[in-house]
Structure 1
Amino acid sequence: MTSPHPETPSPTAILQRWQASGAIWRILSRTPDHVTIALYECTGGQEVDRLTSNDPALLRFVGDRFSSED
């Protein structure tokens, strides 16, 4: 049986897809167990959305970087 609600992609998948499309992300705030990331259009000009998560996989993916441009 198919679920009536599609699975929500992981925060890491969302960020990887964003980056793969050529768009830019930047860390707004970070603690050892939490991160808030701004998602910008490809030019880096306007913020489009934000991603806030404590997902360990996302924290590993961003590592010590401050943006997708690092």
Structure 2
Amino acid sequence: MTLDDLRRWEDSGACWRVVRRGPEDVTVSLLRCDGGEEVDRFVSADPEILAHLGDRVSSEQKI
């Protein structure tokens, strides 16, 4: 998953939620656009993704 992929996910109206935040990486659940069912999950240590997520626990929190 790249930052561009995550942004496309958000732009399509779908949601994400942080499942686990470790010292060096994060696990993110990708959810349907209604915020319900998990469609996929990824783990990333990409600095761009970590910066984009910041301290938020979900895409429903505004930057």
The TM-score with structure 1 as length reference comes to: 0.81
Q: For residues 16 and 6 of structure 2, what CA distance do their matches in structure 1 show? A: 8
**Structure 2 residues not aligned, in runs of 5+:** none
CA RMSD of superposed structures (Å): 1.0
Residue 34 of structure 2 corresponds to: 43
Q: Which has the larger radius of gyration?
A: 1
CA contact (8 A) 1:11 1:51 kept: no
2:21 alignment counterpart:
30
Unpaired runs of 5+ residues, structure 1, are 1-9
Aligned counterpart for 2:12 among listed residues 21, 43, 47: 21
Question: Structure 1 runs of 4+ off > 4 angstroms?
Answer: none
Count of residues paired in the alignment: 61
